[in-house]
Amino acid sequence: MKKQKKRNKAHSAEGAGRPGGTAPKRHAKASGERMLMMGNEAVAEGAIRAGCRFYFGYPITPQNELTAYMAKHMPEHGRVFIQAESELAAINMVLGAATTGARAMTSSSSPGISLKQEGISYLAGTQLPAVIVNVQRGGPGLGSIDPSQGDYFQATKGGGHGDYHTIVLAPMSVQEMHSFTVEAFRLADKYRIPTLILADGRLGQMMEPITLHNGPPPPMPVKRWALTGAKGRRPNCIRSLLVKEGELESHNYKLQKCYRKIEQREARHEEMHADKCDLLVAAWGTCARIAKGAILAARARGLKVGLYRPITLWPFPARRLAQIASKTKAVLVTEMNCGQMLEDVQIAVAGSTPVFFSGYPGGRVPGESDIFQAICKIAKKIKNMPKHQR
Amino acid sequence: MKRHKHIIYSRPRALTRKPMHYCEGCGHSLVHKLLAEVMDELHIRNKTIGVAPVGCAVFAYFYLKCDISEAPHGRTPAVATGIKRALPDHIVFSYQGDGDLAAIGMAETVHTANRGENITVIFINNTVYGMTGGQMAPTTLVGQQTPTCPTGRKTGTMGGPIRVCEILNTLDNPFYIERVALDSVQGILRTKKALLTAFKAQMDGKGYSFVEILSPCPTFFHLSSRDSLQFVKNELSKHFPVRVFRKEGVKIND
């Protein structure tokens, strides 16, 4: 019992916001203060306030401000910044730091995130908490440096090899870039799961006034599994190679059990006029924000349009979407890609109502007018259609 | 009446009792034992964290009684970097084969050494990919036959065997670099001494230490255990000279 207590203490000393075991240093900017910040920097500041002790990065546009912010501010807090030799090295440095129970993060943009997928699969397999930020750009290949939502499949369906998921949070403002980062660290530690922030170049580059995270970092759970030296206990081992008969199978069931729990508890979404609308627009991230404006304009014209915006892309908030969608005449999915969340919406709606799509691939950001026109077109089609046509 | 037992030789405390899965005559089991002896002698077992590679030694955690993490293939020094930065007062080593260290992980190997991370890298050079069937490694000798160079390695199209110590020795930051060979009793003793020097350097916070061990793989040398040792002595050591390259941060051999 005594030993146990001692161990807990050792781990809490490892805890968030205590670089090098000293008292937490206050950031120069007071907590709760309103600040004009760029999205990339808001993520970085969120991570620092969430007690991230290790950041490992590699340059790629459009997320370079995040890496530069960390390079400047992490050492000020007595924390570690390394510019790694590649995205592969960066994610594996995160893995190394995470094995010791410390909060660690990396960030990149689409091509770099592809490189990190191997490491993310290992993080998932070994149940290591970590935060990975993807400030998406156009693809495939080097694509462009323009904002895109082309990595939805990669982020929500695992991304790397094997049967796994990561939690995916999709911000749509600089404020959410900041606060979702803090939340990502909480979720990662709570469920021992790599957690992704899926932003895009527009969110990364734009500036908005935000309220900084005010308060302590998310609680640090006791991590008995962490590698801290086998002192007074049996050696710990972080591994994903499970070759004994049935070993990997039962490990996979264990992971799935955790995923079901997350699906039940953590699916989040935002609704706007979603009840009693004829046309439900489903959109996420930047596209949801633009859709909001278009929906308000359509409603001003008397069209009954609402918004369903998944905040967690995995777990996908399907249950509520199914409920609402079945009461509408149609659903319009709009994304900055060729139809990726579309598939999750179709699965959730399960044929209860027609699903239309309007996409903007290749780094094009739609204007409010684009989505407004798409809404009007479908509104015309469904005008005389009765509800519940099943 | 108390009997005095004088123990001359016993199993190192840092070694588990699990029978090793390595083939007869393999160098890994020997290096594991030396590593355990070094941890015992320096009293560092309970503050040592190892990083096991992808390769024959991936199961090192079954045999060594210290905390160990696996690493993706080649990323071993990056994982070790993350651990060491998080726990600077702990002892961190990576244990890597020639494929892991000099092929897929060459970038991590060079950059970790270049940053002078205060870790110890143990490099088992047996010139083949032992775990996957003895394929050609970056260190396979010219003319050596493997399943992926069935008529022997040819420098014209496959390149020559890479000398890693020599490459790392061109960098400014490494503190200690030595190549040893498990080819004889003297070789084994010298290997242990090299490991001791490397770990001591790390304990003193001196920086990056690198020990390359020329090691027998009888199974894929297609030789007996005894002949494998001769092969290490006569063939491997010819291309990979056994010597100290850098001591106390000073280049003493090229």
Please tell me the total count of domains within chain B.
1
As separate numbers, helices (DSSP H) first and strands (DSSP E) second, chain A gives 13, 15
Rounded average pLDDT over B140-152: 97
Q: In which band, very low, low, confident or very high, does the pLDDT at B33 lie, cut at 50, 70 and 90?
A: very high
Closest in B68, B70, B79 to A235, CB measured: B68
Beta strands in A6-120 (DSSP E): 34-38, 54-57, 80-83, 104-108
C-alpha A38/C-alpha A175 separation (Å) is 10
Q: Examine residue B240 and state whether it is found in any structural domain, yes or no.
A: yes
Do the first three CATH levels of A2-266 and A271-382 match, i.e. the same topology? yes
The residue in chain B having the minimum alpha-carbon distance to the alpha carbon of residue A230 is B46
Q: Examine residue B1 and state whether it is found in any structural domain, yes or no.
A: no
Residue with tokens 């859709």: A291
Joined tokens for residue B133: 């069937």
CATH topology of domain A2-266: Rossmann fold (3.40.50)
pLDDT digits (tens, 9 = 90+) for B215-239: 999 999 999 999 999 999 999 999 9
- Chain A CB contacts of B103 under 8 Å are none
A113 within 8 A of A134, measured Cβ to Cβ = yes
pLDDT at A28: 45
Joined tokens for residue B104: 């897929």
Query: What secondary structure does DSSP assign to A327-377, as a single string?
Result: TSSEEEEEESSSSSHHHHHHHHHTTSS-EEEEE--TTPPPPHHHHHHHHHH
Q: Examine residue B11 and state whether it is found in any structural domain, yes or no.
A: no
C-alpha A384/C-alpha B225 separation (Å) is 85
- Chain B CB contacts of A237 under 8 Å are 61, 67-69
C-alpha A328/C-alpha A305 separation (Å) is 9
**CB neighbours (10 Å) of residue A384?**
7
Residue from B18, B67, B73, B76 whose CB has the most chain A CBs within 10 Å, to mutate: B67
How far is C-alpha B28 from the geometric centre of its chain's CA atoms? 9
**Helical packing angle, B106-115 and A87-99, nearest 10°:** 70
CATH number, domain A271-382: 3.40.50.920
Q: Examine residue B137 and state whether it is found in any structural domain, yes or no.
A: yes
Quote the radius of gyration of chain A (alpha carbons, Å). 22
CATH code assigned at B84: 3.40.50.970
Residue B2 to residues B5, B8, B9, Cα–Cα distance (Å): 9, 19, 21
Domain holding B156, by residue range, is 27-251
Q: Are B69 and A239 inside 8 Å of each other by CB?
A: yes
Q: Are B46 and A231 inside 8 Å of each other by CB?
A: yes
In degrees and rounded to multiples of 5, residue A208 shows phi and psi of -150, 155
Domain parsing of chain A, residue ranges: 2-266, 271-382
pLDDT digits (tens, 9 = 90+) for B95-121: 999 999 999 999 999 999 999 999 999
CB pairs < 8 Å spanning A and B: 133
- Chain A CB contacts of B82 under 8 Å are 54, 56, 92-100, 104
3-state helix, strand, coil split of chain B in percent (to 5) is 40, 20, 40
The answer, for B182 touching chain A at a CB cutoff of 8 Å, is no
As separate numbers, helices (DSSP H) first and strands (DSSP E) second, chain B gives 10, 10
pLDDT at A2: 40
In degrees and rounded to multiples of 5, residue B122 shows phi and psi of -105, 120
What DSSP state is assigned to residue B64? B
Task: Please tell me whether the overall predicted TM-score, pTM, comes out greater than 0.95 for this model.
Answer: no
B102 within 8 A of B162, measured Cβ to Cβ = yes
pLDDT at B110: 98
pLDDT digits (tens, 9 = 90+) for B155-212: 999 999 999 999 999 999 999 999 999 999 999 999 999 999 999 999 999 999 999 9
The residue in chain B having the minimum alpha-carbon distance to the alpha carbon of residue A229 is B47
pLDDT at B1: 58
C-alpha A217/C-alpha A27 separation (Å) is 13
- The pLDDT > 90 percentage for chain B reads 94
A124 within 8 A of A148, measured Cβ to Cβ = no
A78 within 8 A of A53, measured Cβ to Cβ = no
pLDDT at B88: 98
C-alpha A349/C-alpha A323 separation (Å) is 8
Closest in A86, A95, A231 to B79, CB measured: A95
Residue A207, SS3?
strand
As averages over each run of 10 residues, the pLDDT of chain A (390 residues) reads: 40 36 44 89 98 98 98 98 98 98 98 98 98 97 96 97 98 98 98 98 98 96 97 96 95 98 98 95 98 98 97 98 96 98 98 96 95 96 70
Q: Are B78 and A92 inside 8 Å of each other by CB?
A: yes
